[in-house]
Structures are given as structure tokens and as C-alpha cells.
Amino acid sequence: ELDRVYLNFSDPWPKSRHAKRRLTHESFLARYEKVLKKKGEIHFKTDNRKLFEYSLVSMSSYGMILQEVSLDLHAEMPEDNIMTEYEEKFSAKGQPIYRLEAMFDK
């Protein structure tokens, strides 16, 4: 069992017909729930606002508890933030980085 799953800058699959391919779709959330310990967490980062909004709704609808929601991670820049290559690339262009932590309520 895992304590946490990190989803960093995954493909947004922008077309609505591809929603089932998004890593925050309910079918993937069910898979994560199976491998995570009780009260396991998902830490999610993206530069895509529509994917972020979709993920907030998807996780909430699945019954997850949303924690640490940020619409501009670098404005707050937590000390423990580890920047990925994509994060460095997008933030250098001035794009906001969206981040959330969500916990399964089981």
C-alpha cells in the first residue's frame, strides 16, 4: 500500500470525449483508492486550468477531501515544493501552476 500518489503535469486530454483518459477521472480514482492506505493522498499539479477545474469536481464528486488547493503555487511557493522540468518550463513563461492535495475519506 502507498501513502501518496503524485500526478504531475499529466496530459489534459482536452476533448470531452477523451475525459475517461484523464488521470483524475473517477475510474483512475478508484484504482488509486485500491492501492493507497487508509486516508491516502493524491498530490496533483498542472498548468492547465480546465484540467484543474475538472479534477476538483471529479475528486469532490468521488467523495475525496480537498486540501491545500492553490491557483498559483509559485505565488505562495511552499518550502517543500520540488519543481519538475515541466513546472520550471511553464512557470518561466509566466503561467500559473495549479496544485491540490486530496485525501480519500475511508
Residue 54 sits in a domain of what CATH number? 3.40.50.150
- Report the number of distinct structural domains present in the chain: 1
Residue 4 has pLDDT above 80, yes or no: yes
Q: Which of 3, 11, 47, 80 is catalytic?
A: 11
Taking CA atoms, 82 is separated from 19, 25, 37, 63, 103, in Å, by: 28, 25, 23, 28, 20
Give the helix/strand (H/E) hosting 87.
helix 85-92
The DSSP secondary-structure symbol of 64 reads P
Instruction: Assess whether 11 carries a catalytic annotation.
Output: yes
What is the pLDDT confidence band of residue 82, given thresholds at 50, 70 and 90?
confident
| pLDDT above 90 as % of the chain | 72
Query: Which residue range is the domain that position 40 belongs to?
Result: 2-103
The closest alpha carbon to 98, from 54, 41, 40, 64, belongs to 54
Per-residue pLDDT of 46-71, as tens digits, reads: 999 999 999 999 999 999 999 989 99
